[in-house]
Amino acid sequence: MSLLSGLRSGLRSGLRSGINAGDFTASLFVLKIGDSGAVGFGTGDSADTGYLVGTPIPAIGYNDRYAIATGPPPTFIDYPGFQQIGPLSLYAASGNQSMGSEMSLGPTLLTASAHPMLAKVAITGSTLAVEWAPGGTYPAAGAGNLYHLMVNQARSLEQSVKRTVDAIVVELLTNDAANAGQTTAAEANMTAFVAQLRVDFPGAKIVLVQPNPNAPNAGIAAVRTAIDNIVAADPTIKKVETDDCPLQGSFHATSNGYLSQGDREGFAVLDALGVARPNVATTPDVIGYGPQASGTGNLTVIPWAGARDGDMEVLVVVTGLATPGAVTPDGTWTLRSSSGDALAIGVHENMFVYTRLVTAATLAANNNHMPAATVTITTANRNAAKIFTVRGPNLNPTIGAVQGFANNAIGTGPVSVTGITTTANNALVLVFTGGFCGSSGKMTVTNGGLTEVREVQDSAATIVTDREIITLTIGKRAAIGAIGASSATSTANMIVVACTLEVIP
């Protein structure tokens, strides 16, 4: 089983609504603290369906203590209960504000640790200068202030899960940037805050989330510089960038923005702890993907945060409704395959697949993650795109045989998607299928010419009432040969486009 299939599917089985005290022993403990960005303003319903955020994960312990206003005093909401531990899951019911970056931070930790524990303490509107000051008086002086309430919460959870905190993710300073005096003091305040964390949590790694530059507070550039200066002065502190994470409104990330941020937080923690990125043995494999971007015009597509030098990223773009005049990603991408134009019931569908290599230089220039792809799309006005990361046993896998396919009909299938003949032994075959669906259809793809066939993910982007579906099914071909046609079916009527690609080790 690959890292990804285990992460998104099997490890979410065996659902439970809670974990009895003393029943969860953590192999890793990460604490996240901060303001409304840490609370999380995402909704699970609008997150990329491939992440399965609505399904609890019993292998990850979770405790969330948050308040939606500073008050004072703050009115804390405890999920699943005060100092209780439950499986990682949405902290509120479907359709409500219900998630933050924890929904991808936790699963990222799970790829390296069998039973990670994730706890949050966060208050909307809080500042480092006032509410979170270790010597402050909010909401009460002395041992009753917010900092010490957080420490006490962490101490209780440490006893419950039988492990001390390994890493702390801090998401603060966005609100400080609204006050000139707090902005000026941001670097000194954060330096002192980190120092106090190290006193109270000796040995814990520190990760700082840099405020999003698109937040409108006047001092946002200055507090971002403060984070840069702190990290430059102390390389043991890791920084998480949010520059390209899309916002809903003025301050808060979209649900998919939180997924990208959480991936980055998770790998920043693992990097700080010295955990190496996993290797692939014989056949290349898909080891990660970012959230699906969608819209009616140009797209910004964020890749998975766990790429390393020598990986290959695969960008899939699906366009619909009108014939695309041009689909043009930024110059780092190379077109590998396209479906051709599918037309049914007056609706056009097209798929384009591009690749780029991950290099050490690009990672170094982007705080150890790959930059987002910018895709310019003309004419077509219902679009979706997603980036998958492929790792091989050798650096820089290459593309061999390719085939595009377009089906000029709408239905549930089965649709016979033209196959390829592989050109190298131990090839990975990527079968991308997708297209237009008027409801949340689920695609299933089979192929008898491949071994270890599995669905990597299935994402549905809601654009008004129509969906653009992107599904990736992969398989292995040990020896050179024809894999034949793939069979694609859907639970709802679809116009199917597809691209099949061989990845050579």
pLDDT in tens, 449-460: 999 998 887 777
- DSSP assignment of 1-38: --HHHHHHTGGG-S--S-B-TTS---SEEEEEEESHHH
Q: Which helix (H) or strand (E) holds 386?
A: strand 382-391
Cα–Cα distance between 147 and 201 in angstroms, integer?
Answer: 13
- In the block, which residue shows the tokens 């949340």? 440
Q: What percent of the chain has pLDDT over 90?
A: 84
pLDDT in tens, 265-322: 999 999 999 999 999 999 999 999 999 999 888 999 999 999 999 999 999 999 988 8
- In the block, which residue shows the tokens 């703050």? 74
Cα–Cα distance between 25 and 467 in angstroms, integer?
Answer: 42
Written as tens digits, the pLDDT of the chain (505 aa) is 344 444 444 343 333 344 554 589 999 999 999 999 999 999 998 899 889 999 999 999 999 999 999 998 999 999 999 999 999 999 998 789 999 999 999 999 999 999 999 999 999 999 999 999 999 999 999 999 999 999 999 999 999 999 999 999 999 999 999 999 999 999 999 999 999 999 999 999 999 999 999 999 999 999 999 999 999 999 999 999 999 999 998 899 999 999 999 999 999 999 999 999 999 999 999 999 999 999 888 999 999 999 999 999 999 999 988 877 789 999 999 999 999 999 999 999 999 999 999 999 999 999 999 999 999 998 867 899 999 999 999 999 999 999 999 999 999 999 999 999 999 999 999 999 999 888 877 889 999 999 999 888 777 766 655 788 899 999 999 999 999 999 999 999 999 999 999 999 9
- Listed residue (500, 241, 491, 473) closest to 368, CA to CA: 241
At residue 47, the 3 state secondary structure works out as: coil
Domain residue extents for the chain: 3-272, 285-504
The domain defined by 3-272 folds into Rossmann fold (3.40.50)
The distance of Cα 93 from the centroid of its chain, to the nearest Å, equals 21
DSSP 3-state percent helix, strand, coil across the chain (nearest 5): 20, 35, 40
| pTM for this model (two decimals) | 0.94
Cα–Cα distance between 288 and 285 in angstroms, integer?
Answer: 9
